[in-house]
C-alpha cells in the first residue's frame, strides 16, 4: 500500500518524461522514499542515459514514444516546459499510462480540459504536480480551517517572488516556451487561494511586462460571492520573503518563508496569542507526497481525489487565462481557441 507519510511499497512503476532540473528533483524524492523509478525518456538518448546513470534508473529511452510504450511503466511524470504538457500527457494517456503533470498543468484551460477528459474517459489518473497541496503543513492548515479555529476565512495573502535568469533566451523569458512569472511562480499563490477559498467570482489583475513580451511581475485580486478576497502576486526579477497568511474572523495563520515548501506555521488568536505552532520535519524535498497521492488514487480505482481534483486544475487554468487576458499576455496555444476560458471581470464563470 501507499502510506500516508509519502512512501511507497514500490509496486507501481514510474517513468520520467524529460530530464531537466525539476525531473531530477522529483526522481530523487521518489528514489529516497521507496518508489520504483523504472525508466526515463528524453528526445536525446545520451541525455536519457546520463539521467538514468545519475539517479539509478533501470531503463533509458531515446524518445518519449518509447517511454510511454514501455510495458514496465505504469505512471508517467511529465517534466517538460508548459507548452509541451498537452502533447506529452495525451501521448502517455493514449498509451494507457496514468500521468503526473508538472504545474502549471497546461498553457490554458482548454488544454487542461482536454487532458482531464481523456484521462477520465480512459479510467486513468491525471494529477497536477502542485506538490505544495500534499505537504503535511498544508494538510494541517486545511484541518484547522475546517475546524473553525480561526473563524470564517476572510482573506488569503500569498506571494512568490524570485530573482531568476535575465537572459532573454532563457525559457522563463521566452513566450514560445510559456515564459513569464505567472505560469512558473504565480501558479503557487493562485493554487493556494483556490485551495482555501475556491473559485473566485471576479478576477482583477495588473502586470509589468518584460522586453520579451512576458510578465515580469503580476498581481491579482480574487473576489468571492461572500465578500472574501485573495491577494496574490508573483515576480521573477526580484526576490522577496515569500510568506503567506490566512486571515479569519477569530484569528490568522502565518506561514513562514518559503511558505510553499515544507515549513513551520503559527496559528494566532485575535489577541495575538499562539493557538498552535506546527513544525513537522519532512524527509527529502517533499515532492514524494504528490506521488503517494497518485498511487493512492490508482489503488483505490479513483480518477479524482479531494485535495486537488482535475476539475480544480482546469478552474485554476481558467483563472490564469483571465489574468493573462487582462494583462495582455498571449501564447501561441491560445490561437487555437480565441474565446476566453476564464472568469470574466465582474461576472461569475
Summarize pLDDT for 276-308 with one digit per residue, the tens.
999 999 999 999 999 999 999 999 999 999 999
User: What are the Cα distances from residue 319, in Å, to 215, 288, 310?
Assistant: 16, 27, 15
What's the pLDDT at 5? Answer: 80
**Do you find a cis peptide bond into 258, omega within 30 degrees of 0?**
yes
| Statement: residue 341 has pLDDT above 50 | no
pLDDT confidence band for 346 (50 / 70 / 90): very low
What's the pLDDT at 130? Answer: 98
What's the pLDDT at 336? Answer: 74
**Which pTM does this prediction carry?**
0.93
| Statement: residue 237 has pLDDT above 50 | yes
User: What are the Cα distances from residue 217, in Å, to 74, 82, 207, 211, 322?
Assistant: 39, 18, 6, 13, 16
| Statement: residue 249 has pLDDT above 50 | yes
Question: How far is residue 270's CA from residue 211's CA, in Å, rounded to a whole number?
Answer: 45
Q: Which CATH architecture has domain 13-132?
A: 3-Layer(aba) Sandwich (3.40)
Q: Are 175 and 319 in contact (CB under 8 A)?
A: no
| Statement: residue 342 has pLDDT above 60 | no
pLDDT confidence band for 132 (50 / 70 / 90): very high
Q: What pLDDT, in 10s, does the model give residues 168-182?
A: 999 999 999 999 999
Domain ranges in the chain with CATH number 3.30.360.10: 136-281+315-336
- Give the cell for residue 336: 487555437
Q: What pLDDT, in 10s, does the model give residues 26-60?
A: 999 999 999 999 999 999 999 999 999 999 999 99
Strand locations in 123-180, DSSP E?
126-129, 153-161
| Statement: residue 84 has pLDDT above 80 | yes
Q: Which long-range contacts (CB under 8 A, 24 or more apart) does 21-27 make?
A: 22/79, 22/102, 23/51, 23/77, 23/79, 24/51, 24/54, 24/55, 25/285, 25/287, 26/77, 26/79, 26/129, 26/287, 26/291, 27/51, 27/55, 27/57
The Cβ of residue 97 has, within 10 Å, a number of other Cβ atoms equal to: 23
CATH of 136-281+315-336, one of 3.30.360.10, 3.40.50.1700, 2.60.40.10, 3.30.930.10: 3.30.360.10
| Statement: residue 340 has pLDDT above 60 | no
Tell me what the mean pLDDT of segment 188-203 comes to.
98
Domain ranges in the chain with CATH number 3.40.50.720: 13-132
4: which residues sit within 8 A by CB, 6+ positions away?
A: 292
| Statement: residue 134 has pLDDT above 90 | yes
Amino acid at each position: 500500500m501507499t502510506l500516508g507519510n509519502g512512501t511507497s511499497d514500490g509496486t507501481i512503476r514510474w517513468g520520467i518524461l524529460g530530464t531537466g532540473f525539476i525531473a531530477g528533483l522529483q526522481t530523487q524524492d521518489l528514489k529516497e522514499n521507496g518508489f520504483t523509478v523504472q525508466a526515463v525518456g528524453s528526445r536525446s538518448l545520451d541525455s536519457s542515459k546520463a539521467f538514468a546513470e545519475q539517479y539509478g534508473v533501470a531503463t533509458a529511452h531515446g524518445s518519449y514514444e518509447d517511454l510511454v510504450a514501455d510495458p514496465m511503466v505504469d505512471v508517467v511524470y511529465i517534466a517538460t516546459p508548459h507548452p509541451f504538457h498537452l502533447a506529452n500527457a495525451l501521448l502517455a494517456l493514449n498509451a494507457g499510462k496514468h500521468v503526473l503533470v508538472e504545474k502549471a498543468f497546461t498553457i490554458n484551460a482548454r488544454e487542461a480540459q482536454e487532458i482531464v477528459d481523456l484521462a477520465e474517459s480512459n479510467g486513468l489518473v491525471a494529477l497536477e504536480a502542485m506538490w505544495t497541496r500534499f505537504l503535511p503543513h498544508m494538510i494541517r492548515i486545511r484541518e484547522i480551517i475546517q475546524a473553525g479555529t480561526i473563524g470564517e476565512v476572510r482573506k488569503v495573502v500569498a506571494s512568490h517572488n524570485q530573482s531568476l535568469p535575465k537572459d532573454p533566451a532563457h525559457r522563463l523569458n521566452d513566450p514560445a516556451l510559456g515564459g513569464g512569472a505567472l505560469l512558473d511562480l504565480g501558479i503557487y499563490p493562485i493554487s493556494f487561494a483556490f485551495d482555501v477559498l475556491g473559485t473566485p467570482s471576479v478576477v482583477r489583475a495588473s502586470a509589468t511586462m518584460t522586453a520579451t513580451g512576458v510578465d515580469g511581475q503580476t498581481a491579482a485580486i480574487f473576489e468571492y460571492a461572500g465578500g472574501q478576497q485573495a491577494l496574490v502576486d508573483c515576480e521573477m526579477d526580484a526576490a522577496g520573503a515569500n510568506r503567506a497568511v490566512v486571515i479569519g474572523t477569530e484569528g490568522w495563520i502565518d506561514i513562514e518563508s518559503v511558505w510553499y515548501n515544507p515549513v513551520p506555521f503559527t496559528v494566532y488568536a485575535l489577541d495575538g496569542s499562539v493557538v498552535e505552532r506546527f513544525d513537522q520535519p519532512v524527509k527529502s524535498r517533499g515532492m514524494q507526497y504528490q506521488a503517494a497521492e497518485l498511487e493512492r488514487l490508482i489503488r483505490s480505482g479513483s480518477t479524482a481525489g479531494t485535495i486537488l481534483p482535475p476539475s480544480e486544475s482546469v478552474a485554476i487554468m481558467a483563472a490564469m487565462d483571465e489574468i493573462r487576458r487582462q494583462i495582455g499576455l498571449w501564447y501561441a496555444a491560445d490561437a487555437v481557441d480565441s474565446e476566453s476560458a476564464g472568469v470574466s471581470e465582474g461576472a461569475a464563470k
